[in-house]
Structure 1
Amino acid sequence: MRALKNGVVPRYERLVKTAAKLATPSRSFIRGSPVLDCPVSVTYSCTRWSSSQSKWKLRNGKDYFSRTAKVQGLKSRAAFKLLEMDAKHKLFRRGQTVVDLGYAPGSWSQVAVERTRPDGRVVGIDLLPAQPPKGVSTIQGNFLDPVVQNMVKDYLAEFAQRKSTPSRDSQDVDSGEDVIAEKPSYIDTERAESVEPDASHQTNVNDGKLVDVVLSDMSAPWDQTYGFSCKTLSNPYNRLMNTSGMVFRDHAGSMDLCLAALQFASDTLRVGGHFVCKFYQGPEDKDLEKKLKGMFKHVRREKPESSRSESKEAFFVATYRKDQVTLEDVTNPE
């Protein structure tokens, strides 16, 4: 017992004191009674990068556009792709309304905000819960869901209605009269929301041609391989910008997303508006190009300098939408 007391206990105490400097063990109390601390196990762990992560870090560290984007405060190097296409095709101007599909992390939206200020409006849609750039309104949801598309259209119509209707405050200032504004009561607000919208607002909703530029940087999302199925509006597991590494699969998925974006542009893009979409090259892109040429005056294939040479990605830049031509007209010509 003496050997146990003199030999083992001091070593245990030294272990606890040494571990305390690293882990700071606490003494717990149950109903005011102290409970002796248990031996502390200190484990050192390190994160081991996978092969693909290491290659990605090494490639980005040496890449000129990645380093420049970081220095300039851009969300990603993809901003230079849009900047190059804008310099060539003059996509943006002041006061435009721009919709950015698959906006996360937000580099294209940053470019759109800068090019359309001070009166422009940029709306981004993505599955990922990303922090939007300053000046960008965003909706987190699956763009392929018709409910989300209707939310975007309603938001654009509401914004256009507010923009076209002068506020009461500005009218009071113009009249030069001192008017005390009365806030509507809760009951009046509920009653106003239940009343059908006026004719002008209904016309805007039915027309729907409120967008000047539609941007699509989407790619087909990966299938869910773990966790539970999620049917909610926000499903950040999926993301519309991943690639599988299989050429045909990436090509087919990008064609579906480009057609979905083109259908949205057909519903919302003004006459004379522009459309830009990313796609992965393959046999079906000629059919998409044919549809674009039916809806727009000029259609160009672009492979920006900032796009990696080994990547199959390319971009269709379609400018100046034709009048009274929809996607249905070019898909099913009479």
Structure 2
Amino acid sequence: MSSHSLYLTMLPLPSLRFYRTAYLQAFGQVRQASSKRWQARQQKDQFTKEAAVQGLKSRAAFKLLQIDEKYRIFKGGQTVVDLGYAPGSWSQVAANRTQPHGRVLGVDIIPAQPPKGVSTIQGNFLAPEIQTYIRDFLRTPDRGRPRQPGLLGDTNTSLLESNTDPESTIKIAGKDKEDDKILERTVDVVLSDMSAPWHQTSGFWKRSLSAPYNRMMNTSGVSFRDHAGSMDLCNAALRFSSDVLKTGGHFICKFYQGAEDKELEMQLKGLFKKVHRLKPESSRSESKESFFVGLERKP
């Protein structure tokens, strides 16, 4: 062994902390560059500009507006559940289109300021205890719904007394298990715009979950991973919908295209009279996202 080789073998190896620091610095530079590109694209985007003009929470509102224009999802007085509601643009649209007596419940793992007139639950929708809380909330027909004064000034007069759904008026006495299931069906529309949030590793933004860039840019860039994750979330939303949707109710879910979406489409066709797959004009052409619309839940 030469003296030169011996000298090289005696040099201390870089520590794991060195590699970790170098990786985080490189990752931070890539992330910063990506953030600048995203911000530049947002500034040029026509739907982003229009959302700001109309006071909408984000450009995503136009996706739901375009779906509603085509399929007439909403009407006054409906109960709507918005899964993955943050920052609130879909809930904002739903609340506006179900006026004056509709109720909208948004659910998200991320803390966000809810739009006016929208009730929200912060928690992981996939957790059984959160789903139980959601069902408890929905079980009371007036909870989260605007009220109007009665003829004698009674502010607790129910808005549902003259518009009660037959499925929610089954007598409790002598009900069987099928009646129990029907009593859970208090929802007219289920919306799912859920995506798996990024894992946060370092920096101040780790404690600022409401930062728009970190919240909304939650795809990994790996098509298979994004597709598989979206299928899990869509299936969870569909199972929930099968329990809570009224006969004739509607379901909309975002998904990332891939090999498993045909199977999801077949499941939807088993529950709904009509199923449509579409990509709204406001969805960016380079995005792999698409939407399933299930219309009129079967009896």
TM-score category of the 2 structures, normalised to the smaller one: 0.7 to 0.9
Q: How far does the alpha carbon of each residue in 1:60-87 deviate from its partner, in whole angstroms, 9 at most, with x for none?
A: 1110000110111100000000000000
Distance in 2, Cα, partners of 1:133 & 1:225: 30
Q: Does 1:288 align with 2:264?
A: yes
- CA distance in 2 between counterparts of 1:170 and 1:51 reads 58
Q: State the aligned residue count.
A: 242
Counterpart check, 1:73 vs 2:55:
yes
In structure 2, stretches of 5+ residues that fail to align are: 1-28, 155-170, 204-208
Matched residues in 2 for 1:157 and 1:133: separation?
22
- Correspondence list, 1:179-328, <5 A: 199=172, 207-223=183-199, 225=201, 242-323=218-299
In the TM superposition, residue 207 of structure 1 has moved relative to its aligned partner by 2.0
Kept in 2, the 8 Å contact 1:95–1:117? The answer is: yes
Greater gyration radius: 1
Distance 1:79 1:226 in 2: 31
Could you tell me the TM-score, scaled by structure 2's length? 0.74
Secondary structure in 1 matching 2:41: helix
Task: Please report the RMSD computed on the Cα atoms of aligned residues, expressed in angstroms.
Answer: 3.0
Residues 103 and 144, structure 2, Cα contact 8 Å, conserved in 1: no
Task: Note if 1:63 corresponds to 2:41.
Answer: no
- Superposed, 1:132-211 pairs within 5 Å as 132-160=114-142, 170=150, 173=152, 199=172, 207-211=183-187
Once the two structures are TM-superposed, the CA of residue 213 in structure 1 deviates from its matched residue by: 0.1
Among the aligned pairs, what percent are the same residue? 61
- What is the rounded CA distance, in whole Å, between the counterparts of 1:268 and 1:240 in structure 2? 28
**Alignment deviations for residues 256-296 of structure 1 (CA, whole Å, 9 cap, x no partner):** 00000001101100000000000000000000000000100
Cα pair 2:181 2:243 within 8 Å, conserved = no
- How many angstroms does 1:199 deviate by? 4.0
Alignment check: 8 A CA contact 1:102 1:125 kept = yes
Distance 2:89 2:136 in 1: 25
Q: Is the 8 A contact 2:81 2:187 kept in 1?
A: yes
TM superposition shift of 1:129: 1.1
1:128 Cα deviation after fit: 1.1
Q: Do the aligned partners of residues 269 and 239 (structure 1) sit closer, same or farther apart at CA in structure 2, a change above 3 Å counting?
A: farther
Give 2:242's aligned amino acid: S
Is 1:154–1:205's contact at 8 Å kept on the other side of the alignment?
no
The CA deviation string for residues 67-109 of structure 1, in whole angstroms up to 9 with x for no partner, is 1101111000000000000000000000000000000000001
Residues 1:215 and 1:240: Cα distance change in structure 2 (over 3 Å): farther
Q: Determine the C-alpha separation between the residues in 1 that align with 2:69 and 2:88.
A: 19
